[in-house]
Structure 1
Amino acid sequence: MRSENSKHKYSTSISFCVNLLMKFPTRHPNLNSLWSALLLEELWRLGVEHVCIAPGSRSAPLTLAAAVHPHLQQHVHFDERGLAFFALGLAKSSGRPVAVITTSGTAVPNLYPAIVEARQSGVPLVIITADRPPELIDCGANQAIEQQDIFSGYPGATIRLPTPSLDIPANWLLTSIDQAYARSCRQGLPLHINCMFREPLYPYKSDEDYSLYLAETTRWTESDAAHTEYELHGDGGLNASPVPWSEFMSGKGLVVVGRLRTSDDVEAVLALAQRLGWPVLADIQSQLHGHPAVIPHCDLLLSSRSGRALMCQADRVFQIGGHLISKRLDRFLGSHRWQHYYMLGREIRRMDTGHSQTYRMVGNIGRICHQLAQLHSASDAPLLPDWLEAFRMLGQKVSTVVRHQQVEELSESWIGTHLSALLPEEASLFIGNSLPIRLMDMFSAHRSYGVYTNRGASGIDGLVATAAGCCVATKKPLVLLVGDISFLHDLNSLQLVRQLDVPMLIVLLNNDGGGIFNLLPLAKGDSAIKHQAIDYFTTPHGLDARYAAAMFGIEYRCPESTAAFKEAVELSLQSPGCTLLEVKTAPGEAACDISQIITRVEEL
């Protein structure tokens, strides 16, 4: 997306032009401007490259400082909720923290959903909220709310900055930022910085010289390094692991792979799995769907009696990565009586819904898997050819059922099965929550590259914005598969995709409501309560997305056949900009397809 600030810069004298002797300027319009400049400069030195700005007056010192910073990329959006999710997408795909600036008042709690998702999915955000000074809090002043600790325990750290003062050393401000950043963003957690400002909020006179105030920061002002560097050693390898790994890896086990973030993680997990010689069950978020070493359709396998019997032969499991999509797989892992259940993840947050894990490792997934592969030579792997072959054969049978059950008509289940195969290798795929993610995880057996999701809290809000952020950060084509209720939730965020420099395709599954609820017990059978209450859950709306596309100036197509869908996908990914591809289906159609396929698989 083209930065709003690439067109024009504020022509104020708080220019960040760097001379040979001084990296950081000493002249600023006022103390608010100076503190804002110090804050954003230190965040940039710590690794922040993008700053997302929502308009507001109380945040003017922060906005002006961001606007003239020579290295920060600025993005402006009028909706704070969408802006925060856009920042989440930037951070998710770039692997770097992203800053968000908002004004005071109700603008602040609009950020909450994205902060929850960031915390739950381990994505670092820096939330910078402007605030009224203490004397204007709880006294009836306009647009003044209690913002301290407003996000509860979801940030990894919170800085409650006082109003800027010459009595508070600049070194205190810088070291406070460094320490909070290390406690939060370095751990994959959000950081909240609340900034109280008294007026003046805007430059109104000639710049003042703050050389004396900055005198103690000379080492910092003349360099481009952060004031205090934190070296954390919690991202290492096995080191002093108390586990007898050779014994664990010589048994009969399963490798279960959840969300993986980097290509290094993917390669290391594959290398370890091949050394182990165990069946690999991979989530759609693992980037491993469709790989020859992976057993396809692990969710559907658990619908089959023979599939469950095969899995129950294992007495140990090694789960790697983040959250799993499949409820069936998650329940199986939690209910089976394992001799050993090991879990390796990047985050210390518990992911054990069955409370059955026996050993938990937190660290660099790629590094640890490489070390384990070196510990365990191929000759040490258990010889399990018959067991592995039985898994592969059953997986092929399930794939055949999925293909044969679907007629060559455009449907949600057809898209879930074939969409990955239609995408060029350089394209990323963002899968929306609720029905789309379940369809892809259940039916897709094609190799998926660059898969993104919001599965931390698994909400249906902010999906368009997050996908837009991913697209901007990667600078590669991206396809968003999203349901109609999710799309309506985030309609404002179509503003973010209007001027993309790369192709983005939104595949909208419009089944006139929350189709996922047709899979719940309420929708089954022919009870009186079903007919009376189902609309309270599915919320049919009768809306047509072509008018939303027209409002935001986005190209729109509505294919009615698989051939037209394939052609539309191919054309949409050939030119920059966003295309909205609306696929209209009957309510309950996907639930019916899923039910029929599961019935067939149960017979295998």
Structure 2
Amino acid sequence: MSLTLTHIWAETLIDELSRLGVKHICIAPGSRSTPLTLAAVKQSQHPQRPVTLHCHFDERGLGYLALGLAKAGQAPVAVIVTSGTAVANCLPAVVESGLTGEPLIILSADRPFELVDCGANQAIVQRDLFSSHVTAQLDLPTPDAGMPLSALLTKVDQVLAHQAARGGSVHINCPFREPFYGERDAALEAEIRAPIANWYQSQQSYTRHHGRFSTPIERDSLPPSLPPDRPVKTVIVAGALPHGLSASVNRLATALNAVVLADPQSGITSTAPGYDLWLNHPNLQAQLSQAQWVIQLGGRLVSKRLGQWLAQTSAQYWLVTDNAQPLDPHHRAVEQCVVDKRHWSLWLDALTDQVRAACSTSEGLTSSADSPLVWQQTLTNEARAQMEKATDRLSPSLLSEHRLFQQLPTMLPEHVDIFIGNSLAIRLADIWSQLGAYPVFANRGASGIDGLFACAAGVQRCRRQPMLVVLGDTSALYDLNSLALWRETAAPAAMLILNNNGGGIFDSLPVDPQLCDAYYRMPHGLRFEQVAAQFSLNYQQPTCESDLAAALVQAFNTPGTDVIEVVTPAGEAGKILTEQLANMAAQEG
């Protein structure tokens, strides 16, 4: 009875998840999770709704692999882990998804009630393990013939409906009693399944939740105070955005003659790039502060200096997001517009139409020195000139991290996805790299350095495109286990590891250099050639720009994964950044 019932419960659960849109299931090894694993294997062979299975021996990496799949596919991804600390290892990925909305379904096997909190092996209290970091949780009972399968289905459907409405992770805890292995009772199985025979024969979920129907985007969906009835000086700040919005944002920017400041995650090109650097220029900051209207599209901004400017601007401030989650750490009074991810283009185009209609009845743009058009052109031209000076200060003979990011867009093929690690890497990309032509992925919710190789692997497994992964040496060391995921790839990949011997992000801290080395930077003296060999990955170590360009060409034109290690002196990147900021601050108009 117990064996047959346990497996039917697991199969019913996995089958329902596939009906609710799950196409990928990530599995870690474990015995207690055997019913879920075997159910997932069975579902992978379903003629109409097969799921793709992904395996990893490291649960922390597995969680991030699922995060990458969900990030790229915009659909729920299930994770199967066994009991005990295996579940806890999913917490970092769950935290990230709770902040950025990727839908993960954590399916944790558990010991039954009588084996918890009594000294039984591998048993911990798993209920509420993820606390407020999950959107919803379901603590199932041990499979019991007294509870009909219809109740299991409605409970699962309810949890997934919460997730569909709010995003983020859900946790379904599944306690199972042994045995897990052996022959099932076919007659008993038919008896248990009979009450939901219609569901088995259909291809639909048991409960069908219908969300709010979208209405056409009309003027009523925009805040009443703006758009203005005359042209105003406008800044569009583009944060983490759904892919494919470049044309709509550009139309709005053109209609407003706006300055566009685009984060690397946005898929948009800045009209005044390098703002994290030139905002240290007193005159340029003063000019930007003349803005009368700021439209921030999305959040999770990388630039600290842009965030500081937004905190002090007196402009009217719109914040456009895909849910009602606050994304303003400075707690400004804002007009927050919540727009479904599917309708961003429609909403932006509607706003553009409203702007054009409003401004067509005004006197229009003038050539006066104070007009929005002249303001935008003056600011843009001066910002570009200052960034050209900053670029000239980078030695072309030195393969510094700054020079690398400045030249990186010229070294990439036309079609490649980019995944950028946190800490120094994404900050330098924000300053120097114009990446608007490329899909860029990053983990900017909790901005951790964990799971980056694994998350990037999930993105590539979903999109099946060539990929460049750029991250620092400490981040790479933190997720070495997940290089195992890159031994087989759907398309060529390059792992660009910037090795400055420790946490270069800490170089600018105002602490004693010896303390910085010992307790912040933590130099390790390690290289990655033998690491690449351990995982059967190709390895290259370029020492100049031309060698790096050649290494990238080779990586993207050969199957598999190349580890490309660029070694730079410890402290160099921080020193260059400090000098560049000081040069900007010292500039006159």
TM-score by length of 1: 0.90
Structure 1 residue 209 displacement after superposition: 4.1
SS in structure 2 opposite 1:108?
Answer: helix
Decide which of 163, 167, 182 is 1:184's aligned counterpart: 163
User: Aligned pair 1:443/2:423, yes or no?
Assistant: no
> Which residue type is aligned with residue 468 of structure 1?
A
Partner SS for 2:561: strand
Alignment counterpart, residue 474 of structure 1, candidates 463, 471, 485? 463
Q: 1:493: Cα distance to partner?
A: 0.3
- Give, in angstroms, the shift of residue 450 of structure 1: 0.6
Amino acid at match of 1:388: Q
73, 85, 97: which is aligned to 1:118?
Answer: 97
Distance 2:149 2:515 in 1: 64
Q: TM-score by structure 2 length?
A: 0.92
Q: Which residue of 2 aligns with 1:11?
A: none
**Residue 128 of structure 2, aligned match among 128, 146, 149:** 149
Whether the aligned pair in 2 keeps the contact of 1:572 and 1:579 (CA below 8 Å) is yes
Where does residue 150 of structure 2 map in the other structure?
Answer: 171
Q: How far off is 1:354 after superposition? A: 1.2
Letter aligned with residue 172 of structure 1: A
What residue identity is the alignment partner of 2:288? M
- C-alpha change, 1:394 and 1:218, in structure 2 (3 Å) is same
Match of residue 597 from structure 1: 580
Contact 2:24 2:52 in 1 (8 A): yes
Query: Is residue 388 of structure 2 the alignment partner of residue 400 of structure 1?
Result: yes
C-alpha distance in 1 between matches for 2:115 and 2:9 = 20
1:412 equivalent to 2:401? Answer: yes
- The amino acid that maps onto 1:509 is L
Which residue of 2 is the match for residue 247 of structure 1? Answer: 228
Change (3 A) 1:250 1:208: farther
1:485 partner SS: helix
Partner of 1:6: none
Q: CA deviation at 1:240?
A: 4.9
Structure 2 gaps, min length 5: 366-371
Query: Is the partner of 1:429 in helix, strand or coil?
Result: strand
Partner of 1:275: 255
Deviations 1:76-122 (A, max 9, x none): 11000001101111111111111100000110100000110111111
Contact 2:28–2:58, Cα closer than 8 Å, also in 1: yes
What is aligned with 2:375?
387
Alignment of 1:10-159 (within 5 A): 30-69=4-43, 70=45, 71-159=50-138
1:368 aligns with 2:326: no
1:501-540 mapped onto 2 (5 Å cutoff): 501-522=490-511, 529-540=512-523
Q: SS in structure 2 opposite 1:230?
A: coil
Q: Distance in 1 between matches of 2:80 and 2:295?
A: 41
Cα distance, 1:506–1:566 mapped onto 2, change above 3 Å: same
For the residue of structure 1 that corresponds to 2:318, the secondary structure is strand
Secondary structure of the residue aligned to 1:496 is: helix
Kindly indicate whether residue 545 of structure 2 is the aligned counterpart of residue 558 of structure 1.
no
Native 8 Å contact 2:4 2:189 kept in 1: no
Give yes or no for contact 2:2–2:179 (8 Å, CA) kept in 1: no
Paired residue type of 1:584 = V
Once the 2 structures are TM-superposed, how far is the Cα of residue 402 of structure 1 from its aligned partner? 3.0
The 1-side partners of 2:107 and 2:225 are apart by: 46
Identify which range, 236-245 or 188-197, moves more after superposition.
236-245
Which residue of 1 is the match for residue 240 of structure 2? 259
Cα RMSD for the two superposed structures: 1.9
Q: Name 1:3's counterpart in structure 2.
A: none
Structure-2 separation of matches of 1:398 and 1:197: 64
Paired amino acid for 1:116: V
3-state DSSP class of the match of 2:138?
strand
Indicate whether 1:432 and 2:424 are aligned: no
Contact 2:11 2:36 in 1 (8 A): yes
In structure 2, what is the equivalent of residue 342 of structure 1?
318
**1:284–1:448 Cα contact (<8 Å) kept:** no
User: Alignment partner of 1:156: what SS?
Assistant: strand
CA contact 1:163–1:197 (8 Å) conserved in 2: yes
Match of 1:296 in 2: 273
Paired residue for 2:562, among 571, 574, 579?
Answer: 579
Q: Does the residue aligned with 1:581 lie in a helix, a strand or coil?
A: strand
Match of 1:284 in 2: 264
1:310 aligns with 2:312: no
Task: Render the CA deviation track for 1:287-324: whole Å, top value 9, x for unaligned.
Answer: 1135xxx2211222211112111111112211111210
8 Å contact from structure 1 (residues 92, 470) kept in 2: yes
Q: Structure 1 unaligned segments of length 5 or more: list them.
A: 1-26, 523-528
The SS at the match of 1:245 is coil
Q: Is the 8 A contact 2:507 2:516 kept in 1?
A: no
Check the 8 A contact 1:266/1:366 in 2, yes or no. Answer: no
| Runs of 4+ with deviation above 4 angstroms | 234-242
Match of 2:368 in 1: none
Alpha-carbon spacing, 1:387–1:472, altered in 2? closer, same or farther (3 Å): same
Moved more, 315-324 or 154-163: 315-324
Pair 258,229 (structure 1): closer, same or farther in 2 beyond 3 Å: same
SS of match in other structure, 2:133: coil
Residue 534 of structure 1 and its aligned partner are, at CA, apart by 3.3
